[in-house]
Amino acid sequence: MQMRERLAAALKDAMKAKDADRLSTLRLINAAIKDREIALRATPDAPGVSDADILAILGKMVKQRQESARAYEEGGRLELAEKELAEVKVIEEFLPRQLTPEEVSAAVDAAVTALGATSIRDMGRVMGELKAKYTGQMDFGAVGPMVKAKLG
């Protein structure tokens, strides 16, 4: 099942169950996808929003909410932090399983080997390869330093 179909089905289920919090989060996801579609329409001959694009959007949304939750916790606003973390749980239902640190390390090694990367100048190619294969499955903010250490 395509990502859009999964999201539409989840939205319907949330409406039927009258689950307001889940429904709100699913509507935010749909709004973010619509925003991306509108941005793509500005460029002629642009393809529609793909599943990979949707995964990237969802990953970005999770990261934003985790940062917001941290900020709310530091500010003593625990009820808002809990709301953000509840949204993260709903969004993560649509993301693929996160790779373990060992799997991430193996994926980095495989990408470096496959591309024949030897210096820090190859970092962009390695990151591009990893993003193409593992979008939504790893935190690229943490993977960047790993790749840099491998190549440096």
Q: Once rounded to an integer, what is the mean pLDDT over residues 83-90?
A: 94
| Angle formed by the axes of helices 51-74 and 3-17, nearest 10° | 50
Residue environment code for 128-144, b if the CB has 16+ CB neighbours within 10 A, otherwise e: ebbeeebbbbbeeeebe
CB 144 within 8 A of CB 120: no
Q: pLDDT tens digits for 112-136? A: 888 888 888 888 888 888 888 887 7
The C-alpha atoms of residue 120 and residue 106 are separated, in whole angstroms, by 19
The C-alpha atoms of residue 98 and residue 77 are separated, in whole angstroms, by 28
Q: What is the pTM of this model?
A: 0.74
- Strand, coil or helix: what is 148? helix
The domains located in the chain, with CATH, are 3-92 (1.10.1510.10), 101-151 (1.10.10.410)
Q: pLDDT tens digits for 33-69? A: 999 988 888 777 777 788 888 888 998 899 899 999 9
Q: pLDDT tens digits for 87-101? A: 999 998 998 888 888
Cβ neighbours around 7 below 10 Å, total: 19
